Amino acid sequence: MVVLDSASRHKLKALNNQKVISYVEEAISLCKPAKVTVIDDSPQDREYVRQMSIKNGEEKPIKLPGHTVHFDGINDQGRDKANTRYLLSQKVDWGIDINYILKDEGLPEILGLLDGIMEGKEMIVSFYALGPVNSDFTLRAMQITDSFYVTHSAQILYRPGYEEFKRLGGSDDFFFFLHSAGRLINGVTADIDKRRIYIDLEENRVYTVNNQYAGNSVGLKKLAFRLAIHKAQKEGWLAEHMFLMGVHGKPGRSTYFAGAFPSACGKTSTAMFPGQTIVGDDIAYLRKKNGEVRAVNVERGIFGIIQDVNPEDDPLIYEALTTPGEVIFSNVLVKDGIPYWLGMGQEVPAEGENYSGHWYNGKKDDKGNEILYAHKNARYTIGLKELKNADSRLEDREGVPVKAIVYGGRDSDTTVPIVESFSWAHGVFLGATIESETTAATIGKEGVRQHDPMANLDFISVPFADYLANHLKFAEGLREVPSVFAVNYFLKNSRNEYCNGKLDKIIWILWAEGRVHGEYKAVTAPVGRIPRYEDLKELFHAKLGKDYTREEYTEQFTIRIARYLEKMDRMKKAFSRIKLPPALAAELDGQVSRLLDARAKFGSEAPPWLFAD
C-alpha cells in the first residue's frame, strides 16, 4: 500500500483487524487513489477533514464562524430511488415492491464504475459508531470515500468510531461503505447518468458512486439503515424510521416517545414541539433491556430539510442556524456570505450563488423551467447539541425508556386526530396500516393515498411478513409494553378545512403522555381508544389558553365508519401479496367486525359521545 503514509499505516495496524485491512487494500487496488489518509477520533484529524473540504472547494466558508455551504449538482438533489438497489444472489418476492439486481449482473457493473475512479484524488478512510459509543446498541461502520464533504457530514451526524473498532477485537461485525463522487466539473459530480447505489445485504456493504447529495453518499444514513433492519430482523430487535423525544407533562416528568411518520406528515415538527426535548429526529434502534423497551438515536446530528424553517414556526432550529457554530448548508442561495432558503421569512436578494452556479431572478434550466433561488430539498447539517432543546440523555449508553410509540399519517377524510391501540398487536396493526396522501409538492396527482407501513416502506430490507412478525414478537418478555397511538394532523371537515389548528397537535401528544401515566380515562371506539371531551378541554385551556368547544370535539372525533371500512378494503389489498401473521390477520378481522357492528347501529358516521360509557 505505497499510497499510505506511515501515520495512516500505523492507525490501520493499531486496529488489529484483518477485515479492515482487506477492505482498504481492495479499495486502493480498485479505485487507484493518489493518496490514502486514515482518520481517527482526534480533534486534529477532524479539523483536517474540515479544512480539506474547504481547500478542495467542496465547501465554502460563509459569514458566520463555523458555517459553510456545499452545492450538489442541479441533477443531484435527492435520494435516487431508481438507482438504489439491493444486490442479491437470487430472485426474491418479499411481498412488497423492491428494487434489486442480481449480483451476477450488478457487482461487475458497480465495480466497473469504481475502477480507477479516484485517480489523482485522496482517499479518506474513516470509522463511526451508530448509536452511543461503548453500548449494547452500538453498531460500527467504516466508510471509504474521495469526498471530504461526505466525511465532514458524517463526522457531524455520527459518533467517532475509531476507538470502537479497537473494541471489536478483530471481529468483522461492522458495516462497510465505499463511495466516490466521481468525475467533477466545477466541484460537482459530472456523470449523473452513471449514479449507482448498490446495497449488499449478505456482505453488510454498500457501493455508491457518481453522487454527492448526502442521502446517496453518506452511507451511514438511509443506506446503513437498510443494513440495520436486516441485522435487527436476525437478532430480534428493531431498527425503525423513528424520532425519539422527551414529552414533559407534569413538571419534572420526562416520558420518552418514539414516533414514525412518512414524509410531510409532521414528524420533525412533533419531535421539536415547544417545551419538549429531542433525542433524535430520524432513525432509532429499539432493544429489550430488563423487561422494558430502550431506544437510542442512531445519529447525533440532523440532516434536515431547511425549507420553511423560520423564527415563528421553528424558533430553536432557526436560532441554531443563525448563530456561530458548526453547520453545513446545502443547496441554498448565498449572497455576501449569508444563506437564504425558501420560507425563511427574509427578503431574498435578486442574485447570488446557488446549486445552479450564479443565480439571478428568472434564470431557467436547460428545459426552460425557472430555477428557484434555493432548492425545495435544500438541507442543513448540524449537531443536535447545538439545539437548546437537546435532551440530556442523548448519549445515554443504556438508551431512553420508551413508554409510547406514535404512528402518524396524512389523511384528509378518515382517521381521527389521535387514537390509542387496544393492545400491542393492535398497535402494530395501526403502524402497518399507515397511509399518507401526496401533496401539491409531490410529483404526480395530489391527494393520492400511499400505503407506508411503519413509515418505512422505502427501507424494509427483509420479507414484509417477517418484518411485521418481528414487530409482533418484540413485545414478548416485556414487563412494561409501550402504549401505541396513531395521530393524524390533517383531517378536514365537510367544508374542506383542516379540523385542527397548527398548535393543536401538541395537545394530542400531551394527552397520550397523560394516558401513559393513567391520568385520563378514554372512550372505547371501534378503531381504538379516543380522548374524552372534558380532558381535551382542560388541556387546551391549560397549555394553549384556548377554549376548545364541544362542536370542535365532535367534528374531529366523529368516527367516519364508511371511510374506515373503505380503508380496511385497501389494507386487505395491500396485504394480499403476503401471508399476514395470524395476530395481524385477527386484528384486521376484528377492526372490520367492530366497524360493521357500529354501522349497523349508527350508520355511516358516529359522533364520539355515542361510544362514551
Q: How many residues does the chain have?
A: 613
Q: The C-alpha cell of 295 is what?
A: 431506544
Q: The C-alpha cell of 376 is what?
A: 425545495
Neighbour tally for 170: CB within 10 Å:
12
Q: What 3-state DSSP class applies to 277?
A: strand
Report the distance separating Cα 582 and Cα 586, nearest Å. 6
Task: Identify whether the C-beta of residue 144 lies closer than 8 Å to the C-beta of residue 125.
Answer: yes
Residue 31 is a catalytic residue: no
Report the distance separating Cα 521 and Cα 237, nearest Å. 32
Q: What 3-state DSSP class applies to 334?
A: strand
Q: The C-alpha cell of 33 is what?
A: 487513489
Report the distance separating Cα 386 and Cα 367, nearest Å. 40
Residue 202 burial by Cβ neighbours in a 10 Å radius (0-12, 13-18, 19+):
exposed
C-alpha closest to that of 79 among 218, 201, 174, 185: 218
Please name the residues in contact with 538: beta carbons below 8 A apart, sequence gap of 6 or more. Answer: none
Residue with cell 441533477: 75
Neighbour tally for 507: CB within 10 Å:
23
Q: What 3-state DSSP class applies to 179?
A: strand
Greatest CA span in the chain, whole angstroms?
80
Tell me which of 24, 201, 265, 402 is the catalytic residue.
265
DSSP string spanning 231-253?
HHHHHT-EEES-EEEEE--STT-
Residues labelled catalytic? 265
